[in-house]
Structure 1
Amino acid sequence: MASLEWKTLSSEYIYKSNWLTARKDTCETPSGKIVDAYYVLEYNDWVNCVAVTADGRIVMVRQFRQGIGKTVLEIPGGTMDDTDPNPEFAMRRELLEETGYDFEKLIPLGAVAPNPASSNNLTHMFLATGGRKVQEQDLDENEEIEVVLMDLEDVETLLKENKILQSLHVTCLFYALLKLKELKL
């Protein structure tokens, strides 16, 4: 098979902040075509998790999402901080902050690329089991999150009815459902 890799000839940062970095690359394709302006969004990696309590409930979160202007139901997750040593640490931190729950076991489900055409990051997915509430939420300054405990069957119904809009969370739910079936939890 021939290589399809592009060669980056130059990169120029257009905007840099904690939440968004945008750059313009000049690239050369394998056939020699010069792509003068290819835009890439740089983000820290993200984490998300299907969290199951000790009594078998699924921990979901409701929050407003400005991008689509709606309050949506999601699974816990967030951005890895620069100080997080690895995705599991970041996920445990996010679970405590967003939900107040700690989990006996965190099972990695792999990683997916949110949008590999224009973004550079990965989302690391997990299944957490044996959850117990150990503290109150410790939310970031702009977060307002409602914790919702649901039966697995109700979450599956929401998926079937296309009522969970966050595609990265739907992907994690898919992998977690496969793992739960394998584990027979």
Structure 2
Amino acid sequence: MTDDLAWETLAADTAYTCPGFDVVHEDVRLPDGTETDFDYFHEGESVVILPFTSEGAVVVIEEWRQAVKRVNYGLPAGSMEDHDDDPETAVGRELAEETGYEAGSVEYLYSAEPANGYSDSVFHYFVAQDCEPTAEQNLDFNESIHVETTEFESLVERVREGELRDGRSAIGILYYALFEQ
């Protein structure tokens, strides 16, 4: 990596804020000396969980996504909150809140910057093993979620066929299929 590609941030402010994300406006100087501006979507860090039950099934969710006006099929996921000590803490909280399942063990899988041309989002992927429905689902006010289980091979097939369109879920499923299975 070379520093001669780096942009210099001259000033920054939050142009817009709402629950879940901000839009940040920066005045920048490019490597050739040109001064311009740059806006990006600030979301921060999130966790995405590939949760396996003791029997080997995968816990998945169906969730309404207003931006695309349809039900999204995929993996449980959520933003890290201020009180989360680390991503693994967020995994336990998000898994229980969204699905009512708790994991026997959790292992880090991978981290991705899914859209680093216009966002600072980071997704930390984890595999949760021996998940059991021992908690109470505790959804946020703006979440509409149904929980079910399926076979891992079915998830891979849904990605292949274009039926599972959630990008963050597809990355985790395909990474696991390619490198971990």
Which whole-Å deviations, capped at 9, do the CAs of 1:72-122 have from their partners, x for residues lacking one? 101001111111111110011000011111111211112111211111221
- Alignment match, 1:9: 10
The RMSD of aligned alpha carbons is 1.4
In structure 2, how many angstroms separate the alpha carbons of the residues matched to 1:93 and 1:122? 18
Kept in 1, the 8 Å contact 2:156–2:174? The answer is: no
Q: TM-score, structure 2 length as denominator?
A: 0.93
What is the correspondence of 1:1-185 to structure 2 with a 5 Å cutoff? 3-35=4-36, 37-181=37-181
In structure 2, how many angstroms separate the alpha carbons of the residues matched to 1:2 and 1:111? 23
What displacement does 1:16 show?
2.3
What displacement does 1:135 show?
2.1
What displacement does 1:178 show?
3.4
Provide runs of 4+ in structure 1 moved above 4 Å: none
Which AA in structure 1 matches 2:55?
Answer: D
Which whole-Å deviations, capped at 9, do the CAs of 1:114-169 have from their partners, x for residues lacking one? 21111122111111111111023111112121111001221121111011111111
Listed as ranges, the gaps of 5+ residues in structure 1 are none
Listed as ranges, the gaps of 5+ residues in structure 2 are none
Which AA in structure 2 matches 1:135?
Answer: A
Q: TM-score, structure 1 length as denominator?
A: 0.91
In structure 1, how many angstroms separate the alpha carbons of the residues matched to 2:62 and 2:126? 19
Which AA in structure 2 matches 1:23?
Answer: V
For this pair of structures, how many residues does the alignment match? 180
Which AA in structure 1 matches 2:140?
Answer: D
Which AA in structure 2 matches 1:30?
Answer: P
Q: What SS does structure 2 have at the residue aligned with 1:78?
A: strand
What displacement does 1:13 show?
1.8
Identity of aligned residues (%): 26
